[in-house]
Amino acid sequence: MSRTVSLERCTQETRIKLSLEIDGTGQGRICTSVPFLDHMLNLFARHGLFDLSVEACGDIDIDFHHTVEDIGIVLGDAFKQALGDKKGIRRYGQATVPMDETLASVAVDISGRPYLVYHATLPKVKIGDFDVELAREFFQAFANNCGLNLHINVIYGDNVHHILEACFKAFARAMDMATQQDARVQGVMSTKGVL
C-alpha cells in the first residue's frame, strides 16, 4: 500500500504545493521563501525518512506567520490523508534528541484528537528573519490538521537554533516511529476499534 499524497492549498495569503511519501528515504526538496523553515523541514524529512517536497509562497512582505502556519496545516493534512484508516500503524512514537548543549524530547499519538503541549520557553528573538515563536504556530497547525496529540519538551538548552533543531529532529523521529506499520497490529491500535 502506497502511503503518498500530493496536496495544494491556495488562499489570499499563501500558495502551497506539497507531496509526501511516508515510506521514503529522507529526501527533502523544500522551497518556502522562509530559509530557516526550509532548514527545519529538510531536517524533518531526513530524520523521519520521509520524502517531502514543499513549494510555498506567501505574504512574507508582511511577515512569515501565514506561510509557516499554512505549511503546518498542509503537512498535517498530508500525513492524515497518507495514513488513511491508520490500520496497522504503531500509533505512538517518541524520541529524545541532543543537539550540542540542548536536549529535546517529543512524544506523539496519532489518535485523531489534536492537542499540543509545548514546553519550550524561548526568548522573543529571531533566527535570521525567523521569529522563533512561529515554531509553535507550525506545530499547532500540524497537530490540529493531522489529528495528533503532540508533546514537545525542551529539557535544557541555551542556543535557540539548537533548541528548535533538536525539536524538529525529535519530532521527525517520533513521527517515523508512530507511522511505521507493525505486522502484529490487527486493525487499529485502539480498544475502540477506530482512531
**pLDDT tens digits, residue range 116-137?**
999 999 999 999 999 999 999 9
**pLDDT tens digits, residue range 35-63?**
999 999 999 999 999 999 999 999 999 89
pLDDT the model gives residue 53: 98
pLDDT the model gives residue 1: 67
Structural domains in the chain, CATH included, are 4-179 (3.30.230.40)
Distance CA 8, CA 74 (A): 8
* Verdict on whether the full-model pTM lies above 0.95: yes
Nearest 5 degrees, angle CA 143-CA 9-CA 84? 50
Dihedrals phi, psi of 169, to nearest 5 degrees: -65, -45
pLDDT the model gives residue 2: 86
Confidence of residue 190 (pLDDT cuts 50, 70, 90): very high
Q: Strand order of the sheet with strand 115-119?
A: 92-99, 102-109, 149-156, 115-119
Q: Which residues pair with 150 in a beta bridge?
A: 108, 116
Name the residue type at position 4.
T
H or E element, residue 147: none
